[in-house]
Amino acid sequence: MERRKILLSEDEIPRQWYNVLADIKMNPPLGPDGQPISPDMLAPVFPMNIIEQEVSQQRWIDIPEEVLNIYAIWRPTPLIRATGLEKALGTPARIYYKYEGTSPPGSHKPNTAVPQAYYNKVFGIKRLTTETGAGQWGSALAFACSQFGLECKVYMVRISFDQKPYRKTMMQTWGASCIPSPSTETQAGRDILAKFPDTPGSLGIAISEAVEAAVSDTSGNTRYALGSVLNHVMLHQTIIGLEARKQLEKIGEYPDAIIGCAGGGSNFAGLAFPFVLDKFNGKKVDIHPVEPAACPSLTQGPFAYDHGDTAGYTPLMAMHSLGHTFVPPPMHAGGLRYHGMAPTVSQLVVEGLLDPKAYGQMATFEAGLLAARTEGIIPAPETNHALAAVVDLARQAREEGKAKVILFNWSGHGLIDLGSYEKYLSGQIKDFDFPAQDIEDAKKILAEYPKPQIIRSR
């Protein structure tokens, strides 16, 4: 029998997260007055121990024993040699994936939900609120809160609440209160319902409700939790890459290429940041965040301070973007499309430490189906973007006759998102290439806006 899985024992789980902020210099987020947003401005929604992590420059941060105890339910996750995929591609490359679909909710999200619940608990918080769309993040937080005896209230967008009974049931099974948003429990919800009684809700409304529920609890017992983009979320996710590095060491391998899908950045960062540290220390490794080809915010967009809204009155933040007056041409994009990438990922792209890649929807679903039929696991749709890059590099290795080592993050399973597979299989998904001229036009528009100083960390 050929060996497919490289496992760590529970004793071998990393005891510290890696904080990339110790090794890069960042432009701070700015307020409308041009001044940096101070950490204490977030105190109404986050406990101070999480805010401290959000701004910490400490390279290694201890993972509390209580968090490790919960991680041990599904961690360390397996590192798996994709021998079936290798054979199907006829590549000399050795392909490994870190499978995060083994967590109770089926994705990487609990890697941060668990510590967030823990830090709130030790800060004395009794209740967490959050918003969720179809329920991936909400179910992760519900699971985490159940482990620490915290109340959890999830504002689930009404349309998803009605359409996705399984995620809602998962949350309720873990003891969370999952209510449709807008609700009558917050003023934000009541205001919307007064104007639009039959509204199906939106993420924007759900976030407003979750934040209001935290802010308006005068007892101080409620806070809010967020599952993407922020620095402390990236920090917690580094457990993925730290485990993977240990697992590869066990078999005497080191990756030539590391790949992760880059939505808000957390599952990419989770795998990649520990290897970015190696790169800082002289290791040669190519690191590829992957996004849809039709969404050039990371792969082709300029790096600038971009106003967050059309009026230009909201705070500014250094981000990859196309600029707020940019009128996009019609384009199709899949589940990874976020305008804002995590600032830390953006910074690493600017510094040339990451080499972003982009693939069209057809390539991603072709890769996803190939992986499902060779490795057996149906990938989450966002994982398919990473898989498209894996297939590309593996074929390149075949053409070059190089036995490269490729590592990627299989961020979750797709068993609760089969609708997108159905659309692909029925021929309803098409590719679109973003016109180069439009990128040039966007750059011209952004030329009017204040530019951040391009900081080099090395």
Partner 1 sequence: MTHDHNPLSRRCPRLGGPVGFKYCMSGEGEHPCAKVVDCWWETFDIVQYLRDNLSADQFDRVLNARPRPKVASLVELIAQARKRQDV
On the CB side of 275, how many CA atoms lie within 13 Å of its CA?
Answer: 32
Pick the closer one to partner 1 by CB: 402 or 423: 423
CA-CA distances (angstroms) from residue 325 to 311, 320, 441, 445? 9, 14, 11, 7
Pick the closer one to partner 1 by CB: 96 or 303: 303
Q: Are strands 127-132 and 151-157 parallel, antiparallel or unpaired?
A: parallel
Pick the closer one to partner 1 by CB: 8 or 318: 318
Rounded to the nearest whole angstrom, what is the least distance from the CB of residue 317 to partner 1 in the complex? 4
Q: Measured on CA atoms in the order 344, 345, 349, 355, is the torsion positive or negative? A: positive
CA-CA distances (angstroms) from residue 97 to 156, 257, 277? 32, 12, 20
Pick the closer one to partner 1 by CB: 126 or 190: 190
Q: What would the two tokens of residue 315 be?
A: 């705070």
Rounded to the nearest whole angstrom, what is the least distance from the CB of residue 212 to partner 1 in the complex? 4
Pick the closer one to partner 1 by CB: 273 or 326: 326
Report how far residue 289's alpha carbon sits from residue 298's, in angstroms, rounded to the nearest whole number: 9
Pick the closer one to partner 1 by CB: 247 or 411: 411
| Cross-strand partners of 80 | 5, 97
* Longest CA pairwise span in the chain (Å): 65
Location of structure tokens 């990451």: 354
Pick the closer one to partner 1 by CB: 13 or 159: 159
Query: Which of 140, 335, 166 lies closest to 225, judged by CA?
Result: 140
Rounded to the nearest whole angstrom, what is the least distance from the CB of residue 458 to partner 1 in the complex? 25
Rounded to the nearest whole angstrom, what is the least distance from the CB of residue 248 to partner 1 in the complex? 31
Rounded to the nearest whole angstrom, what is the least distance from the CB of residue 196 to partner 1 in the complex? 5
Report how far residue 240's alpha carbon sits from residue 380's, in angstroms, rounded to the nearest whole number: 17
Instruction: Give the other-Cβ count within 10 Å of 25's Cβ.
Output: 13
**Helix and strand tally (H, E) in the chain?**
17, 15
Pick the closer one to partner 1 by CB: 83 or 172: 172
CA-CA distances (angstroms) from residue 270 to 35, 146, 157, 182? 30, 24, 27, 33
47 neighbors 120 (Cβ within 8 angstroms): yes
Rounded to the nearest whole angstrom, what is the least distance from the CB of residue 24 to partner 1 in the complex? 17
Rounded to the nearest whole angstrom, what is the least distance from the CB of residue 58 to partner 1 in the complex? 20
Pick the closer one to partner 1 by CB: 212 or 243: 212
> Where does 13-150 show beta strands of DSSP type E?
16-18, 60-62, 79-81, 94-99, 127-132
Rounded to the nearest whole angstrom, what is the least distance from the CB of residue 139 to partner 1 in the complex? 11
Instruction: Give the other-Cβ count within 10 Å of 378's Cβ.
Output: 19
Pick the closer one to partner 1 by CB: 90 or 330: 330
21 neighbors 56 (Cβ within 8 angstroms): yes
Query: Which of 142, 98, 122, 129 lies closest to 50, judged by CA?
Result: 122
| DSSP label of 414 | -
Pick the closer one to partner 1 by CB: 182 or 260: 182
Rounded to the nearest whole angstrom, what is the least distance from the CB of residue 210 to partner 1 in the complex? 9
Pick the closer one to partner 1 by CB: 124 or 419: 419
Q: What would the two tokens of residue 410 be?
A: 């299989």
What is the enclosing helix (H) or strand (E) of 407?
A: strand 405-410
Rounded to the nearest whole angstrom, what is the least distance from the CB of residue 215 to partner 1 in the complex? 4
Q: Are strands 286-292 and 177-181 parallel, antiparallel or unpaired?
A: unpaired
Alpha helices by DSSP H, listed for 224-263, are 231-237, 239-250
Q: What would the two tokens of residue 419 be?
A: 């609708």
Rounded to the nearest whole angstrom, what is the least distance from the CB of residue 216 to partner 1 in the complex? 5
Rounded to the nearest whole angstrom, what is the least distance from the CB of residue 100 to partner 1 in the complex? 16
